[in-house]
A and B are shown apart, each in its own frame.
Chain A
Amino acid sequence: MNSAYYYRGLLWKELRYNARLFGLAFILISWQNLFFPVIRGLLREGVTFAEWYTTLLYMMNPHAFSSSFMVQIGIIISIAMGVLILNHERSGSLEYLLSTPVHRKEIIVSKFISGSLALAGIMFINALVVVLVLAAGPVVLVSKTMVIGWFFSMTVAWICLFTLGLAASTLCRNFAAAGLTALFIFALPGMITQFACQAATHFFDASGKLALTIHNSMGRMDVWSMVTMKAPQKVDSVDATSPFSIGTMSSGIGTETPNYFVINNDIVFYLVGLTVLTVIFLVAAVWFFERNPLERKGDWLMFGHFKHVAIIIIAFLMAWSLGLEYAGSLLSFAAYFVLFFVLIYLMFIILSRLFGFFRLREWMGK
């Protein structure tokens, strides 16, 4: 029997069993665009069509992406979907799946396909409603290319984050540890970019222009920037001190017709980058899952305990910022970072032990 037979069965299972999860994701991701205006309209609380129209128009503007509700909630939902779609199997059903003739790779790939289909479906419905509402609006300001660009960029971004969640879930023992690990991986390139910018100005006394150039070139690798489709800041911008300001670029609403591809020159790079990241995350997910699908005490479960993961990540972040604060050179930063990391890590471990000790005493007292 070829793989197609098993993929069909697995896809049937994924779509049927996770229908509620996908439904919830649809409601949350589409809340601002579809449900909120409709519900307020039904309750006669005063969202007018014009307001809705303006909201959707605003959303189509790439500069508003990073701050829009849809992007913020979409990041969390996509990662959570990726984590949950595998994590629910740990309650015992994975053992059933592994006892059938399906390959481990097929289990992960079918989860990837079903989640991707669901996210693409969610974005398709959103795009369709956006097109209909904007077409019915007073002035047609949105081109087809723009909506198609918006649909593809968002879909690719959500699928990338979904795959990140899936990969994290294959690595970790529980939902919380997997979610935290995925968020950490998601934020890490941004932190490195920030570090590079700060290092340039802090340690090497680089000009604001150079720092911005570094930010723009490194920031292209930042998953957050990719997902939010943040356009690189103009190096000639007047405000060079804040690397995240939009500067003098047009917001796209009003007299100018916003064009997605024209405004954000990096869109192609982002789409390719996100696709490459998706493939990397998927390969990692398959690789981890093939080696450790179920074992609760397996070698690969290095991030087994949520508390331990949390302590490592908090110590890392605090050591990073404190290192930047006190260091005067790259070398001293490395030394400070290691020192702070070890100290903070030990501090939290001791605190957690003490907390456990007092809790035990309290329990014994009772």
Chain B
Amino acid sequence: MQNLSIKTCEISKSFEGLTALDNISLQVPAGSVFGLIGPNGAGKTTLMKILMDIIRPDRGWVELLGQSNRQRSRIKEKVGYVPDVPGMYANFKCEEMFRLGSKLNHHWDWERCQELSKIFEVPKNSRIHTLSRGMKVRISLLMALSIRPQLLLLDEPTAGLDPIFRREFLQIVMDEAAGSGTTVFYSTHNLSDLERTADTIACLNQGRLLFQRSLDEIKESIHRVQFVAEEDQRTVLNLPGILDYQKSGRIHIITVEGRWAEVEAALDRCRPIYRERLNLSLEDAFISLIKKDTGDTLTLDAHGEGIEEAAQ
């Protein structure tokens, strides 16, 4: 049986009637780098907070490292967390924050803390409220790594960071994952980062889990093709698994989901004169899947209306 670092079962959460999460069941294998993507308001931060038991779900349950995330287990001794907006004691000096960290987690490793302080160039005697957001993120990561976590939860940690530090940040996280076998679960809008680092990706949209697949699976199952066909647009749009459609002059550009052999067979029905498979980035695949989920992909009505709109 696969060893899981995170297991959630049918988690639902709503705020004043608005559904933030709807029946989310996730499984994150131990030692993996797991990316969580989704548009703004998809429920990523809510899910992170529920994983950390900062807020409680209306339904469902969470297991971290094989134990319930509820209080009794003290499982959070082994879990590092970097929130989207690092919340710290504004009037504390950085050093005092580290002392607090060491007093609230007996796994605290002062050696690691000193080492990372040097790398991150933390001004130990500065008060938290005087620091930039980037520095607060560094401190938050430093504190999360200083407990030598088995599981690291990062909620859009690189948002607003400069490209140099963003790369450095990811490198440190990946080193941690590779060196200590730490499971990394992180949400981000930066899909190129994810493409470089993640093994598996889950996508949330409007509180629902759209998919959970490995990066290879995504690349193998979503394709972008441009072609010129003898058949009209109606036939093209009726192709199975179509996610996105664009038209430029006589050229149809489609994004489809399915195995390549099946896609090729389906395309043959349009009697293509010319056909070319395009490179599809994770970002393009993500946008196409979200478009499909929100109903932006047009389907034809009886009179073929909507095609022009799609072409625009």
Instruction: Indicate the size class of the contact surface on chain A.
Output: 20 to 34
Complex interface: stretch among A7-15, A22-30, A338-346, A358-366: A7-15
Query: At the interface, yes or no: B77 with Cβ under 8 Å from chain A?
Result: yes
Point out the residues of chain B lying under 8 angstroms from A291, CB to CB. 56
Bitwise, A267-294 to B at CB < 8 A (1) or not (0) is: 0000000000000000000000001011
A242 at the interface (CB under 8 A from B): no
What is the predominant secondary structure among interface residues of chain B facing chain A?
A: loop
Binding site for A on B (CB under 8 A): 15-16, 49, 52-56, 71-72, 74-77, 79, 81, 83, 85-92, 96, 99-101, 103-106
Say which residue of B15, B76, B91, B92 sits within 8 Å of A295 (CB atoms): B15
A175 to chain B, nearest CB (A): 16
A91 close to B (CB within 8 Å): yes
CA distance A94 to B92 in the complex (A): 14
Contact (Cβ within 8 A) B88 A99 = no
The 8 residue pairs across chains A and B that have the minimum distance between CB atoms: A92-B87, A9-B103, A95-B87, A297-B15, A99-B81, A100-B104, A101-B76, A101-B74
Does A326 have its Cβ within 8 Å of any Cβ on chain B?
no
Report whether B76 and A17 are in contact in the complex, using a CB–CB cutoff of 8 Å.
no
Q: Are A297 and B16 in contact (CB under 8 A)?
A: yes
Find the B residue at minimum CB distance from A5: B106
- Say if the beta carbon of A6 comes within 8 Å of chain B: yes
Complex CA gap A102/B92 in Å reads 19
Q: Whose C-beta in chain B lies nearest to the C-beta of A97?
A: B104
Closest-CB distance, A211 to chain B (whole angstroms): 47
Chain A residues with CB under 8 A of B53: 98
The 8 Å CB contact of A12, one of B55, B83, B91, B103, is B103
Q: Is the CB of A13 within 8 A of B74?
A: no
User: Are B83 and A99 in contact, with the CB atoms below 8 A?
Assistant: yes
CB of B77 within 8 A of CB of A91, answer no
Please report the C-alpha to C-alpha distance between residue A94 and residue B87 in the assembled complex, in whole angstroms: 7
- List residues 198-252 of chain A with CB under 8 A from any CB of chain B: none
A99 touches B54 (CB 8 A): yes
Residue A104 at the chain B interface, CB threshold 8 Å:
yes
Chain B residue numbers with a CB within 8 Å of A17 are 89, 91-92
Q: Is the CB of B52 within 8 A of A99?
A: yes
Bitwise, A93-112 to B at CB < 8 A (1) or not (0) is 11111111111100000000
> Within the complex, what minimum Cβ distance (angstroms) separates B106 from chain A?
6
Cα distance A10–B101 when bound, in Å?
A: 10
| Chain B residues, Cβ within 8 Å of A99 | 52, 54, 76, 79, 81, 83
Are A95 and B54 in touch, CB under 8 angstroms? yes
Contact A100 to B88, CB < 8 A, known contacts A5-B106, A13-B100, A294-B55: no
Whether B103 lies near A13 (C-beta < 8 A) is yes
A291–B57 CA distance with the chains assembled, in angstroms = 11
Shortest CB distance B16–A (Å):
5
> What are 8 of the A-B contact pairs (CB < 8 Å)?
A9-B100, A9-B103, A17-B89, A92-B88, A98-B53, A99-B81, A100-B76, A101-B77
